[in-house]
Amino acid sequence: MIYYQTLKIEREDLEVFSFIFGAVIGSFLNVLILRLPLNQSVVTPRSSCPSCNHIIAWYYNIPLFSYLYLKASCAYCKEKISSQYFIVELLSAVLTLALYIKLGLSSELIFMLLFGYTLITLSFIDFKYKAVPDYLLLIALILSFFVSSYPLIESLKNAFLFAGALVLLNFIITFYIQNIKSRILKDDSLKNQEALGEGDIPIIASIAVILGIKGALIAIFLAAFFAIIPSLYSNFVKKDIQTPFIPYLVLGLICEYFFNLESFLKVIY
């Protein structure tokens, strides 16, 4: 009984640690999100307020806590701090905790954390710049093979199958937009519009590597569903025809990975 209680306490301690560790990593991911697209060093200089450029003291840079304590405002100039900082730290913390609960202490956990942190970085860069660094996409694709439960040959087959299908789908939809929709709407700006971004291809390939064919189909369907309302909002309210799709692909992947909707659908049908 005492041994069981000791194990329970140790596991609870590790769960708390994993959450805190994830929040700390999330703080670093914010640095990557801001600096990598600008080709700036992620080590120096120290973090500073984007409004007043004041160097942020360490006690004002504690993940999650500082944002709440300062009420989302700079401690020096009182300008509002972007909610992105808090959201990234919280997502990283929750993801780290969830992966630890699912996988325990294992090599798979390490690779899955690296993969997850890369996806978070890619998602928020895509939100901010609507373009992502190719090397991050390559890193995500390579890491996906380390966490896949499928044999290497089958993982490669699934990756090529979904990547090829996406390229074909992109060609068909893009042809429709540029040659048919642009004429119907008499909108010349559509003649240069691409239906899907090139960055979506390696992410979809990574999803297929990890989830397999059926799981990947569900994840991509969920991604398209999640993107509907933001896409409509961008088109009709913000008048922006570009909608970043990587964040929704990641959300679809997370839903299928943790909740295994493929098995749930098998039970229903």
The predicted pLDDT at position 57 comes to 87
181-191 as b/e, with b when 16 or more CB fall inside 10 Å?
A: ebeeeeeeebe
Q: Which among 84, 105, 126 is the end of a domain?
A: 105
Q: Which one-letter DSSP state was computed for residue 133? A: -
Residues in Cβ contact with 244 at an 8 Å cutoff, skipping those fewer than 6 apart: 123, 126, 127, 130, 197
Residue length, the chain? Answer: 269
% of the chain surpassing 70 pLDDT: 85
Same domain, 150 and 24: no
- Band (107; pLDDT cuts 50, 70, 90): very high
Same domain, 214 and 158: yes
The predicted pLDDT at position 190 comes to 61
Q: Could you tell me which residues are beta bridge partners of residue 73? A: 80
Q: Is the pLDDT of residue 50 over 90?
A: no
Least confident of 26-35, 114-123, 154-163, 184-193: 184-193
Same domain, 132 and 258: yes
Mean pLDDT of the chain: 86
Which residue's structure tokens are 């397999």?
Answer: 212
Same domain, 75 and 49: yes
The predicted pLDDT at position 191 comes to 64
Same domain, 31 and 132: no
Same domain, 13 and 111: no
The predicted pLDDT at position 206 comes to 96
Question: Which range of residues forms the domain containing residue 228?
Answer: 107-269
Q: Which amino acid is at 3?
A: Y
The predicted pLDDT at position 43 comes to 83
Same domain, 98 and 113: no
Q: Is the pLDDT of residue 157 over 80?
A: yes
Distance, CA of 164 to CA of 167 (rounded, Å): 5
* Phi (first) and psi of residue 73, to 5 degrees: -130, 150
Same domain, 165 and 243: yes
The predicted pLDDT at position 23 comes to 97
Q: Which residue has the higher pLDDT, 267 or 256?
A: 256
Same domain, 61 and 152: no
Q: Which among 72, 105, 138 is the end of a domain?
A: 105
Give CA separation, 50 vs 46, 77, 157, in Å. Answer: 12, 10, 45
Q: How far is CA 182 from the centre of its chain?
A: 32
The predicted pLDDT at position 146 comes to 95
Is the pTM for the entire model greater than 0.85?
yes
Distance, CA of 115 to CA of 109 (rounded, Å): 10
250, 123 in Cβ contact below 8 A? yes
The predicted pLDDT at position 231 comes to 76
DSSP 39-87: T--SSSS--B-TTT-PBPPGGG--TTHHHHHTTTB-TTT-PBPPHHHHH
Same domain, 72 and 158: no
The predicted pLDDT at position 49 comes to 84
Q: Which among 75, 105, 135 is the end of a domain?
A: 105
